[in-house]
Homo-oligomer: A and B are copies of this chain.
């Protein structure tokens, strides 16, 4: 529930990235036989903004959408989850789409992107000083680094630096968007701006050749190489599709290694879990409490599995109930 008088002391988080319409056949029907498609809206940084808003942290999503009903469909979703829409540019281009075929063991989920030519992939005229004028934190992912026109993300990062806005960056390497070599080259220029880097062992090795016997070892190398104080990652144990276990892990010089429990998840929709976790991380970091951030992130990521669509909706109370082990009794 949004308080009617905004606590102006709470810093506003700005996130930047693309959102797409997500089209999902109902009831596990394969796409090739679909008779209807459920419409959701998703995109990594929008998901994180929604997660922040649900946790009570004001969030603005900066992006570009096409004019017309599909762009307006996305805006309506943005607003309906209490994310600020003042940072949305209306620009020429398509509305990006992606199709999701849900999983059931032994069939994994399949995502088919149809995002080429989107308004976001073409827009380059962001007025960063204006867009970031009231931001207290900035969040972006490697997906945006791959999709936005060259230079756009760097301009944002530099503006943040000039304003002393902390930056979190979820590496989120996607092989369908760019090669590891290209990604590494671009990301190496960006990570030095970053306070909190979300990156697991596999991406660290694939992109930067960083190897270690455990997360701590990898995290120390990442922190050293890029100068990022906080390194975080999510943990998923997914032998089947409908029941996973989910948690978080992090390291900083100050705190050392922090590892959360893995929470049992019955999976309604696992997309956006990592973005929900990022929202939890940021909430903790805004309070200067990395451990709380990791735990909130783990709980929010776990809870996201129970919500249809990409957009997280869990409140602080929901997350804290998970962390407190409140259990599965019906709440009356």
Contact = CB atoms under 8 A, between A and B. Distances in A.
A267 B105 CA distance: 8
B104 A69 contact: no
Given A35-B35, A174-B332, A263 B80 contact: no
A117 B117 CA distance: 10
A230 to B, nearest CB: 25
Contacts of A185: none
Given A34-B73, A79-B79, A264-B240, A331 B28 contact: no
A38 B39 contact: no
Contacts of A37: 23, 36-37, 39
In the complex this chain forms, how many copies of it are found?
Answer: 6
Contact of A90 (B1, B263, B265): B1
A116 interface: yes
Contacts of A238: 327-329
Contacts of A114: 94-95
Given A105-B266, A109-B330, 20 more contacts: A23-B23, A26-B36, A32-B69, A32-B313, A33-B76, A36-B39, A37-B37, A37-B39, A69-B101, A94-B114, A97-B97, A103-B266, A104-B268, A106-B303, A107-B306, A108-B330, A108-B331, A111-B332, A117-B117, A240-B243
Interface of A: 1-4, 23, 26-39, 67-73, 75-77, 79-82, 85-86, 88-90, 94-95, 97, 99, 101, 103-114, 116-117, 174-176, 238-243, 263-268, 270-271, 299, 302-303, 305-308, 313-314, 318, 321-322, 326-332
List the 6 closest A-B pairs by CB distance, nearest first: A31-B69, A104-B306, A32-B72, A104-B266, A79-B79, A76-B80
